[in-house]
């Protein structure tokens, strides 16, 4: 089988210094722009600033001014961003002269900058509002903190809170909860606890949301025993967690296979002042069913009925899934019928476990009947449906799987080429890359021509499943058959290598794509900068980011996001 690595050195010979050599290659192969192009770009940027300034009418000191309506005009992204940038420049210039912005407009500008991915400018708007004497409302302040946390800029969010507090702007529990959640998302439980202490010292009261976030983080990061200790500490200090916190512990115990401990905690809930809800029952039910403890599962459901706890969609789906896995297809169908008669909204998620079991058993006729029923009821078939069908491949029934998929595509009136492409993508996303290859072969035999997107899906799937060498070999096979790999194909491979911490190899693939005449795009450079930052090569990442920005390869919003997320303070521009 052809290999793509005959022109590059073995991975084993690479070390950290090769990153620097690779970085040098990256820099030298960033597209060079003709002086006229650069001049035009510079003039365009300057004209935007001039446009902003020429439309400004300088009001008197301390008067409130209105910004131009940046929402009016062309709807294309470039025009919107230019108007947004002009409004920001005008805000900055006028406030710099000692005048106040109209608070509603300034707040809306902050929201719109966030929605456009301009985090740094949004933070600057908040600072401008504060410096001009405007008191931002709690909603806009918390929105910005939450936005920064969701983007991974938790450090900037914390700095913003500190600045606001230093300027006398009060912080509420909701804002602190946002910080706690942001830190917990990135596995920083210790810092989250420090934030909790800070919250209490300021006289603010943690609420049930605070406790639930921390307990869930403790369970995910350190295990359920540590989460239980944390809950005990919270109660000892006067905290009052709610049932959600106990449901988190129930989930943790069940996921760790400690069903007996989960049953004990479940029975203790009334003593702790809580009546188990349908969510509590579903957590325990799932564990009992998956362990095949059917008598206890049915008794639990009978208890729900006695207590007046109506089952939910999740309850039915847990039963259907468990029965299907256990091979009890007839009982699963009965639960499905009961679910329908009870007026619950049945979806593809209810059918998929049954279809998966039928495919494992090779019962194609029943699979087709189920699928026809779903289509007749106008259910939306999802990735789970197609991955269930792919299980036929395990029984060597690849042609049957293809014929079912072909029939589905025609019945749903999709353009067949788009349908095939989406199916392959969905299979690869769920770890079914090998069946995707098998089915793709049948598709090509029947006239389907894979495109760049399809190949990228396969490469991503292989990388996700750890088949990096095989993903590399795909390029050789494709080139042997006359296909010229697209930049998206290379990006998929580079990203897969970076996620597997093989950044040296990813730089070599970058070299290879350039040598073969394939021009990198913004995504390529974005992946490599993030990979360097992830490996804590911050100096390299910052330098590369600067030079890519100065050469016009990366957009300002991308540069802002990367520099804030990874705290690349050396950034200029």
Residue 54 has pLDDT above 50, yes or no: no
Question: Could you tell me the residue ranges of all domains in the chain?
Answer: 347-445, 451-520, 535-572
Query: Does residue 516 sit in helix, strand or coil?
Result: coil
Write out pLDDT tens, residues 57-86: 444 445 667 777 888 777 777 788 888 888
The confidence score (pLDDT) of residue 12 equals 29
Residue 425 has pLDDT above 80, yes or no: yes
Which of 12-21, 274-283, 475-484 is predicted with the least confidence, judged by mean pLDDT?
A: 12-21
Q: Mean pLDDT over residues 21-45, rounded?
A: 49
Query: Does residue 64 sit in helix, strand or coil?
Result: strand
Spatial distance between the Cα atoms of 521 and 51, rounded to a whole number of angstroms: 30
Spatial distance between the Cα atoms of 92 and 383, rounded to a whole number of angstroms: 48
Reading the block at residue 430, the tokens are 């769920």
Query: Does residue 377 sit in helix, strand or coil?
Result: coil
Write out pLDDT tens, residues 164-210: 888 888 788 998 999 999 999 888 899 999 988 888 888 888 998 99
Q: Mean pLDDT over residues 397-418, rounded?
A: 93
Spatial distance between the Cα atoms of 259 and 287, rounded to a whole number of angstroms: 7
Query: Does residue 211 sit in helix, strand or coil?
Result: helix
Residue-level length of the chain: 573
Residue with tokens 């300088």: 58
Spatial distance between the Cα atoms of 341 and 560, rounded to a whole number of angstroms: 54
Domain 451-520 CATH assignment equals 3.40.50.1820:
no
Which of 282-296, 453-467, 524-538, 546-560 is predicted with the least confidence, judged by mean pLDDT?
A: 546-560
Residue 246 CB-density burial (10 A; 0-12 exposed, 13-18 middle, 19+ buried) = buried
Write out pLDDT tens, residues 120-156: 889 999 988 888 888 888 888 889 999 999 888 888 8
Give this prediction's pTM.
Answer: 0.78
Instruction: Report the share of the chain in percent with pLDDT over 70.
Output: 88
């Amino acid at each position: 089988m052809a290999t793509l690595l005959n022109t590059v050195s073995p991975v084993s010979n690479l070390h950290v210094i090769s990153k620097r050599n690779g970085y040098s290659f990256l820099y030298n192969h960033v597209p060079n722009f003709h002086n006229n192009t650069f001049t035009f770009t510079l003039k365009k940027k300057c004209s935007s600033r001039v446009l902003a300034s020429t439309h400004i009418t300088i009001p008197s000191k301390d008067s409130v001014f209105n910004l131009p309506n940046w929402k009016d005009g062309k709807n294309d992204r470039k025009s919107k961003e230019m108007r947004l940038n002009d409004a920001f420049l005008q805000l900055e210039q006028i406030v710099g002269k000692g005048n106040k912005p109209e608070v509603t407009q300034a707040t809306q500008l902050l929201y719109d900058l966030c929605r456009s991915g301009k985090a740094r400018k949004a933070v600057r708007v908040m600072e401008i509002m504060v410096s001009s004497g405007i008191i931002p409302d709690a909603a806009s302040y918390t929105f910005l903190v939450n936005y920064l946390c969701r983007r991974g800029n938790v450090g900037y969010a914390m700095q913003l809170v500190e600045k606001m507090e230093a300027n006398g702007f009060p912080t509420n529990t909701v804002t602190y909860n946002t910080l706690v959640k942001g830190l917990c998302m990135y596995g920083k439980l210790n810092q989250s606890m420090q934030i909790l202490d800070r919250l209490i010292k300021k006289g603010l009261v943690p609420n049930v949301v605070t406790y639930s976030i921390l307990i869930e983080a403790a369970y995910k990061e350190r295990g359920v025993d540590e989460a239980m200790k944390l809950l005990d500490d919270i109660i000892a200090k006067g905290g009052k967690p709610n049932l959600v916190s106990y449901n988190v512990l129930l989930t943790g115990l069940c996921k760790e296979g400690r069903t007996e401990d989960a049953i004990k905690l479940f029975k203790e809930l009334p003593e702790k002042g809580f009546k188990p809800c349908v969510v509590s029952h579903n957590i325990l039910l799932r564990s009992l069913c998956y362990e095949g403890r059917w008598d206890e599962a049915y008794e639990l459901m009978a208890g729900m009925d006695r207590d007046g706890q109506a089952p939910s969609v999740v309850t039915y789906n847990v039963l259907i899934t468990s029965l299907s896995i256990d091979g009890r297809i007839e009982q699963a169908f009965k639960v499905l019928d009961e679910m329908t008669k009870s007026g619950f909204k049945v979806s593809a998620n209810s059918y998929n476990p049954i279809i998966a079991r039928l495919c494992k058993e090779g019962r194609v006729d029943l699979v087709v009947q189920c699928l026809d029923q779903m289509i007749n009821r106008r259910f939306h078939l999802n990735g789970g449906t197609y991955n269930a069908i792919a299980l036929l491949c395990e029984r060597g029934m690849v042609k049957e799987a293809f014929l079912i998929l072909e029939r589905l595509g025609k019945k749903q009136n999709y353009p067949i080429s788009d349908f095939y492409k989406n199916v392959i993508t969905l299979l690869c996303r769920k770890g079914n890359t090998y069946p995707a290859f098998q089915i793709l072969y049948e598709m090509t035999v029947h006239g389907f021509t894979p495109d760049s997107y399809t190949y990228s899906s396969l490469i991503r799937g292989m990388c996700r499943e750890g088949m990096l060498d095989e993903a590399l070999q795909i390029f050789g096979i494709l080139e042997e058959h006359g296909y010229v790999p697209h930049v998206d194909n290379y990006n998929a491979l580079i990203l897969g290598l970076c996620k597997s911490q093989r950044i040296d190899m990813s730089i070599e693939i970058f070299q290879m794509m350039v040598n073969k005449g394939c021009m990198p795009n913004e995504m390529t450079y974005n992946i490599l900068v993030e990979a360097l930052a992830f490996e804590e090569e911050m100096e390299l990442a910052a330098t590369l980011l600067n030079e890519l920005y100065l050469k016009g390869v990366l957009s300002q919003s991308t540069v802002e996001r990367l520099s804030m997320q990874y705290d690349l303070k050396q950034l200029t521009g």
